[in-house]
Amino acid sequence: MLEETPASRSRSVQTKLVLPPDTNHMGTIFGGTVLSYIDEIAAITAMKHSKSAVVTASIDTVNFISSAKVGDILNLEGVVISTGRTSMEVYVKVDCQNLETGNKTVTTTAILTMVAVNNDGKPTPVCRVVPETEEEKSLFQNAQKRKARRLKINEFSKEQAYDK
């Protein structure tokens, strides 16, 4: 049986500056840019947990809560919140800090599923995660519901792909 690993071992943090090329005509950051940052921090987080390469299996939920503007600082934080045999759910929270006021607001939250792979690109087992904070424990408790929903969506997507 694989060992258990505390969630804090995977916790990862990145800081990004919102620059003009990252923004739309309204001066707010493109959602796709934020998604790219989220995918990167989720991969780093999952690699720290699994000690192996990973691939993104799905982006399960993304909630754009507020926007960031040119000159704002984005702080991204990722943590593994549940594990399967070879998969890991990663929770990512993005907050925005205004340099002038110092105010911080949550801009985006997301849950991604990452799969650990070996050198041949085949799925490889991962350690079980042990949630530590109240937020991690709450997210961990709902993991089976999210997995069931994900499986249902995957099945529907496969049916749609083969119906054409």
Query: How crowded is residue 75: how many other Cβ atoms within 10 Å of its Cβ?
Result: 16
Structural domain boundaries enclosing 150: 4-162
Q: How many residues does the chain have?
A: 164
Q: Is the pLDDT of residue 60 over 70?
A: yes
Mean pLDDT of the chain: 92
Within 8 A by CB and 6+ apart from 7, the residues are 79, 80, 81, 129, 130, 131, 132, 133, 136
Q: What's the predicted TM-score (pTM) here? A: 0.89
pLDDT confidence of 159, banded at 50, 70, 90? Answer: confident
Give the single-character DSSP code of 157: H
Provide the CATH number for the domain around residue 112: 3.10.129.10
CA angle 114, 47, 15 (to 5 degrees): 95
Whole-angstrom CA distances from 133 to 11, 94, 145 are 12, 18, 20
Q: How many domains does the chain have?
A: 1
